[in-house]
Amino acid sequence: MLAYILRRVLYAIPILIGVNLITFALFFIVNTPNDMARMHLGVKRVTPEAIEKWKQERGYDRPLLWNEKSAGVKRLTDTIFFEKSMKLFAFDFGPAEDRRDIGEEIGARMGPSLALAMPVFLVGLAVNITFALMMAFFRATYLDFWGVVLCVAMMSISTLFYIIGGQYVAAKLWNLVPISGYDGGLDAGRFVILPVLIGVVSGIGSGSRWYRTIFLEEMGRDYVRTARAKGLAESVVLFRHVLKNAMIPILTGAVVVIPLLFMGSLLTESFFGIPGLGSYTIDAIQAQDFAVVRSMVFIGSVLYIAGLLLTDLSYTLVDPRIRFD
């Protein structure tokens, strides 16, 4: 088991280097530091001196990949690629465009992101599985048919509609909750409840339909026929046997996203003014702050790989037949 985990972690390294190379190519080769300086300083009337000064302040005045002027190891390390991309491996993100430290900012914003993303994930999973089980239980009846129709309709509605509509009705029309904002501690609940609700509702359509397919596929298997043949009630078959066996496909989809919950939700956070990592990323994209985008790409990749590993490990928990040794 330990050897397996170690092997997977080692396998992650080339992938992360690949991620870094892609972002590096995007950020520094397609769009050279000179272009970045020109864009941040305004396209017109920029003197070469101003560009040089901007680059120097941010450490972009070095060569990209290979420094001819230095000696020894410094030829590799005294470059933009090493300074800006490889240092991410040590989780050293450097300062953002507004000179604040990205690492500190990320640490401070993780809490609010989790306070929103965690309930959405847990409640959403519970609600979707419940609906899917109900549809599977009443399969091939009108209840199932209209449930699927409702799911397809809900899938076809843009997330933006759920957010804007929910915000308007609950916060503005009925004055139940504040429209946007955030507060630490227990007070956070007041601000988070509406975005959580919206997050759950907007996921019901695709989620419960997906789980319903999984349950139905599982119900076509032989063990289900055996269970029915020995006289078990349909509800027992469904909850005792099908639900347990459907855990593997459910886990594949669910566990992978758990680490990514840290990244927060881009849309909901920025609409509700929650100071999490999602709104941080959106602000960075809109301000074209590449240092932040680069860091978030890296963190996202690390978390995704961690999710894949967690998924594999969780298989051993639900299915003792699976072993990695």
Partner 1 sequence: MRFVPVVLYTDALLWLLALGLAVYGWTCARRPHLAAPWRRVFQSRAALASGAVLAIFIVIGLADSLHLRRPPSIAEQSVLDLALGHLRERGEKTYSAPLATRLYAKEQVEAPGGKTVREYPRLRYGGSHLQDEADATRDIAWLALRGLLISAVAWGAMFLMIGRFMKRRSPQVPWGAAWVALAVALALAGPALSLSQHWHVLGTDKVGNDVLFQALKSIRTSLVIGTLTTLVLLPLGVALGIAAGYFKGWVDDVIQYAYTTLNSIPGVLLIAAAVLMMQVVIDRNPEWFATAAQRADFRLLILCAILGLTSWTGLARLLRGEALKLSQLEYIQAAHAFGVSNARILGRHILPNVAHIVIIAMVMDFSGLVLAEAVLSYVGVGVDPATTSFGTMINAARLEMGREPIVWWSLAAAFFFMFVLVLAANLFADAVRDGFDPRVRVGGLVTA
Q: Length of the chain in residues, anyone?
A: 325
Q: Based on CB atoms, which residue is closest to partner 1, 247 or 293?
A: 293
Binder to partner 1 among 115, 116, 192, 263 (CB under 8 A)? Answer: 263
Count CA atoms closer than 13 A to 263's CA, side-chain side.
Answer: 23
Q: Which residues are within 8 A (CB) of 281 and not within 5 positions of it... i.e. 6 or more apart? A: 263, 264, 266, 292, 293, 296
Looking at residues 58 to 87 of the shown chain, list those that interact with partner 1 (rule: CB under 8 A).
none
Distance of CA 204 to the CA centre of its chain: 18
State yes or no: residue 296 binds partner 1 (CB under 8 A).
Answer: yes
Alpha-carbon radius of gyration of the chain: 25
Six-digit token string for 181: 């904002």
State yes or no: residue 285 binds partner 1 (CB under 8 A).
Answer: yes
Q: Based on CB atoms, which residue is closest to partner 1, 150 or 188?
A: 150
Compute how many other C-beta atoms are within 10 angstroms of the C-beta atom of residue 287. Answer: 14
Q: Based on CB atoms, which residue is closest to partner 1, 177 or 305?
A: 305
State yes or no: residue 200 binds partner 1 (CB under 8 A).
Answer: no
The one segment of 85-93, 110-118, 124-132, 299-307 that binds partner 1 by CB under 8 A: 299-307
Q: Based on CB atoms, which residue is closest to partner 1, 170 or 282?
A: 282
Cβ atoms of residues 89 and 9 within 8 Å: no
Binder to partner 1 among 267, 268, 279, 280 (CB under 8 A)? Answer: 267
Looking at residues 29 to 58 of the shown chain, list those that interact with partner 1 (rule: CB under 8 A).
30-31, 35-36, 39, 43
Cβ atoms of residues 219 and 137 within 8 Å: no
E strand or H helix that includes residue 215: helix 188-219
Q: Based on CB atoms, which residue is closest to partner 1, 77 or 159?
A: 159
Cβ atoms of residues 60 and 80 within 8 Å: yes
Count CA atoms closer than 13 A to 226's CA, side-chain side.
Answer: 5
State yes or no: residue 220 binds partner 1 (CB under 8 A).
Answer: yes
Quote the CA–CA distance of 47 and 175 in Å, as a whole number: 53
In the stretch 101-140, what mask flags binding to partner 1 with x, by CB under 8 A? --------------------------------------xx
What DSSP character marks residue 81?
I
Quote the CA–CA distance of 233 and 13 in Å, as a whole number: 51
Q: How far apart are CB 135 and partner 1 at their closest, in Å?
A: 10
Binding-site size for partner 1 (CB under 8 A) equals 52
State yes or no: residue 161 binds partner 1 (CB under 8 A).
Answer: yes
Instruction: Note the residues at the interface with partner 1 (CB under 8 A).
Output: 14-15, 18-19, 22-23, 26-27, 30-31, 35-36, 39, 43, 139-140, 145, 148, 152-153, 155-161, 164, 167-168, 172, 213, 216-217, 220, 260, 263, 266-267, 281-282, 285-286, 288, 290, 293, 296-297, 300-301, 304-305
